[in-house]
Structure 1
Amino acid sequence: MREPVLAWFDVHARDLPWRAPDRTAWGVLVSEVMLQQTPVVRVEPAWRSWMARWPTPADLAAASTADVLRAWDRLGYPRRALRLQECARAVVERHDGVVPSSEPELLALPGVGSYTAAAVLAFAYGRRSVVLDTNVRRVLARTVEGVALPAPSQTVGEVRAAARYVPDDDATAARWAAASMELGALVCTARSPRCDACPVRDVCTWYRAGRPADELAGRRRTQAFTGTDRQVRGRVMALLREALGPVPAAAVDAVWPDARQLARCVDALVIDGLVARDPATSDDDAPTYRLPA
Structure 2
Amino acid sequence: MSALAPPLIAWYRENARDLPWRRDGFGAWGILVSEFMLQQTPVARVIPHLEAWLSRWPDAAALAAAAPGDAVAQWANLGYPRRALWLHRAAVQVRDRHDGVVPRDVDALLALSGIGDYTARAVAVFAYGDRHPVVDTNTRRVLARVLEGRAQPGPPAKEDLVRMEGVLPEDRADAAIVNAAAMELGATVCTARSPRCDACPLAEICRWRAEGFPASPDLRRRQARYEGSDRHARGAVLGILRGAAPDDVDLAALLAEWPDARQRDRAIDSLVADGLVEVVADRARLPR
Do both share a fold (TM > 0.5)?
yes
After superposition, residues 140-179 of structure 1 pair within 5 angstroms as: 140-151=143-154, 153-179=155-181
Question: What's the C-alpha RMSD, in Å, of the aligned pairs?
Answer: 1.4
Q: Which has the higher contact order (CA 8 A, sep 6+)?
A: 2
1:161 Cα deviation after fit: 1.8
**Contact 2:237–2:255 (CA under 8 A) maintained in structure 1:** no
User: Is residue 190 from structure 1 mapped to residue 192 from structure 2 by the alignment?
Assistant: yes
Is 1:222 the counterpart of 2:223 in the alignment? Answer: yes
* 2:43 counterpart of 1:40: yes
Fraction of identical pairs, as percent: 52
- 1:236–1:255: 8 Å Cα contact kept in structure 2? no
SS in 2 for 1:15: coil
- TM-score, normalising length from structure 1? 0.93
Q: For 2:94 and 2:25, how far apart are their aligned partners in 1?
A: 20
Q: Conserved in 2, the CA contact under 8 Å of 1:232 and 1:265?
A: yes
Aligned to 1:290: 285
Counterpart CA distance in 2 for 1:74 and 1:145 is: 38
Letter in 2 for 1:64: A
Distance 1:45 1:199, change over 3 A: same
What is the identity, as a one-letter code, of the residue corresponding to 1:19? R
Tell me, in whole angstroms, the C-alpha distance in 1 between the residues paired with 2:23 and 2:107. 26
For residues 189 and 218 of structure 2, the distance between their equivalents in structure 1, rounded to whole angstroms, comes to 22
Q: 2:66: which partner in 1?
A: 63
Between the aligned partners of 1:238 and 1:211, the Cα distance in structure 2 is 45
Q: Distance in 1 between matches of 2:7 and 2:257?
A: 52
Q: Give 2:233's aligned residue.
A: 232
Structure 1: 5+ residue stretches without partners:
280-286
**How many residues are treated as equivalent by the alignment?**
284
Compute the displacement of 1:34 (Å).
Answer: 0.4
- What CA distance in whole angstroms lies between the structure 2 residues aligned with 1:220 and 1:207? 25
User: Which residue number in structure 1 is paired with residue 54 of structure 2?
Assistant: 51
Structure 1 residue 128 corresponds to structure 2 residue 152: no
Q: CA deviation at 1:15?
A: 0.9
In 2, the alpha carbon distance for the partners of 1:47 and 1:12 equals: 23
| Alignment partners' CA distance in 2, 1:124 and 1:221 | 32
Which residue in the other structure is 1:284 paired with? none
**Structure-1 residue corresponding to 2:205:** 203
Deviation of 1:220 (Å): 5.1
Supply the AA of the counterpart residue of 2:279.
R
CA distance in 2, matches of 1:38, 1:123: 19
Preserved contact between residue 236 and residue 255 of structure 2 (Cα < 8 Å) = no
- Within-5 A mapping of 1:46-125: 46-125=49-128
Deviations 1:68-101 (A, max 9, x none): 1111001111111011011011111111001111
TM-score by length of 2: 0.95
